[in-house]
Amino acid sequence: MPSVASNQATTGAPAQDGQLREMTMGQAIREALAEELRRDPLVFIMGEDVAEAGTPFKVLSGLVEEFGPQRIIDSPISEAGISGLGVGAAMTGMRPVIDIMFGDFLGLAMDQIVNQAAKVHYMSGGKLRVPLVIRTTLGATRRTAAQHSQSLHAWVSHIPGLKVALPSTPYDAKGLLKTAIRDENPVVFFEDKMMYTLKGQVPVDDYTIPFGVADIKRVGSDITLVATSSMVQIALAAAEQLQTLGISAEVIDPRTTFPLDAQTLIASAMKTSRAIVIDEGYEQYGVTAELAAIIADGAFYHLDAPVKRLGAMNVPVPFSPVLEDQTVPTPPAVVALAKTLCGRV
């Protein structure tokens, strides 16, 4: 099937020909899974509450009715067991999609993911492959407290052998997930739990989005906003506010942290001469640090100001709504920092 790498307008609609329809991110993810299950009998889904319950977020509702409990498999409550079974099944030729309902629980399966899935191909001299997809979530502001609200994608982005995808729109979610399922390598696929109801345009025809190709969500000339996952919507909202102040912001979505399209980030910063990196993970030792360093190194002689970062506050995520909302980047915070960099304060 042909791959599609789109540059999207400010509306988030894919820039390609063909029939489009509006759907939520949850619907786009479910459709991608259903299409791949129909396309390839080696694909199956396994995890806690994926069958009858359709996961706590109801993204998988109805799949067990079409594909049966042999391919939509409810597992015991054991992230280590789910991941270990997924790695073994992938090594023997299956294409499992395992569901870790909260990214906070990845710590329970890190040996299987980091020491097994990521290294089997290398340590077998290329004889073994692990075509495994680990679907999990990130994101705060759902009022689920410190153990269910973290954004830990930096953990796995740090590990050679793993690919990491973070969709920000329904279009990206479907295209990236189909690519992940067809990939011969283990992919950790992060979905923001607050974005399942986000609506957008998705093609009717089959398509994939290649990994390692960033997307220019909005073209601008004064400052670059590099944002991941849910922070793309924050950046776009900030860009709208900045436009009223006469500041033109370009919004770049890397879409995958590995492989990373560093050149698009650098080229944008070279054009605008200023950059802010926005990510919902913890700011310390996080994704913002890596992306900011790449931009600063690659665009150094074209920058008129230091590359700045906005990440989650370095505290456990509070349960209190008033406190929780203060821990993650917001459009006003992006606007205030952009105004400072552009000399408008």
Active-site residues, by number, are 148
130: its two tokens: 């692990």
Query: Phi first, then psi: what are they for 108, rounded to 5°?
Result: -75, -15
Distance CA 224, CA 274 (A): 6
Cα three-residue angle 78-229-186, rounded to 5 degrees: 45
CA separation for the pair 149, 152 (Å, rounded): 10
CA 109 to chain centre: 19
Decide if 287 contacts 295 (C-beta within 8 A): no
